[in-house]
Amino acid sequence: DAGVIQSPRHEVTEMGQEVTLRCKPISGHNSLFWYRQTMMRGLELLIYFNNNVPIDDSGMPEDRFSAKMPNASFSTLKIQPSEPRDSAVYFCASSSPGHEKLFFGSGTQLSVL
Amino acid sequence: GENVEQHPSTLSVQEGDSAVIKCTYSDSASNYFPWYKQELGKRPQLIIDIRSNVGEKKDQRIAVTLNKTAKHFSLHITETQPEDSAVYFCAANILTGGGNKLTFGTGTQLKVEL
């Protein structure tokens, strides 16, 4: 298995633009997580899904952030409109049923100018 | 919700020495405590974990200890090597049927000097 796959690896955009980050979890994993990593705040859980259903989105900072998981093999995190303070590394992670171990993707380095 | 505090934020040791990183958690219901290692520019990867029904766990040069009463747990690395240099994150989790929500500490930058 190729592991958790995220795209793009790097994204540079201008303030006000829409940004869409993509994630493909490991096949067979039924939980998917979106984390944001910054120097100041460390690893923050934004939202997680279980069996494609959002379970906890309390970490989503503002209404500008939204996440979807239309099927078991794909999820998106959208920021609209983007702001410079959204600049961070966004990680997607997945885990298999009954197991706690998280497998992280390579992350998306987002820079909002 | 769960709050995890981690200390120190940076740690520098000489090669061959031991390193200890400590974490505390707030929710007494937490029952799973993993440690992740993140090398520069890479993804976090699980290195060891412990459940609340165990007080200590070892895997070669690394070990974790858990004190449920005090709500703290620690990572111990012995005979440190340059390749141990990385950021280490502790985390706490409440395992429920509805999901698996990990709360991470703020990380410890470990530097092993030659």
| Measured distance CA(A44)–CA(B105) in Å, rounded | 9
Q: What is the pLDDT of residue A9?
A: 97
Report CB contact under 8 Å: B46, A31.
no
Report CB contact under 8 Å: B98, A50.
yes
Asked whether A104 and B44 are in contact (CB, 8 A), the reply is yes
Burial string for A32-71 (b: 16+ CB within 10 Å, else e) reads bbbbbbeeeebbebbbbbbeeeebbeebbeeeebebebee
Half-sphere exposure of A61 (CA within 13 A, CB side): 15
Q: Using CB atoms, which residue from A42, A55, A107 is nearest to B99?
A: A55
| Measured distance CA(A62)–CA(A11) in Å, rounded | 20
Residues constituting chain A: 113
The answer to whether B21 faces chain A, any CB pair under 8 Å, is no
Q: What is the pLDDT of residue A1?
A: 61
Report CB contact under 8 Å: A105, B43.
yes
Per-residue pLDDT of chain B (114 residues; tens, 9 = 90+): 788 999 999 999 999 999 999 999 999 989 999 999 999 999 999 999 999 888 999 999 999 999 999 999 999 999 999 999 999 999 998 766 556 778 999 999 999 998
| Measured distance CA(B39)–CA(A23) in Å, rounded | 21
Which residues 53-112 in chain B show a CB within 8 A of chain A?
Answer: 89, 93, 95, 98-107
B76 φ, ψ to 5°?
-120, 125
Asked whether B8 and B105 are in contact (CB, 8 A), the reply is no
DSSP secondary structure letter of residue A101: -
Q: What is the pLDDT of residue B96?
A: 63
| Measured distance CA(B101)–CA(B95) in Å, rounded | 8
**Angle formed at CA B36 by CA B54 and CA A29, multiple of 5 degrees:** 90
| Measured distance CA(A48)–CA(A33) in Å, rounded | 4
Q: Give A28-87 pLDDT, tens digit per residue.
A: 999 999 999 998 888 999 999 999 999 989 899 889 999 999 999 999 999 999 999 999
| Measured distance CA(B39)–CA(B84) in Å, rounded | 9
Measured in angstroms, the CA of B82 and the nearest CA of chain A are apart by 23
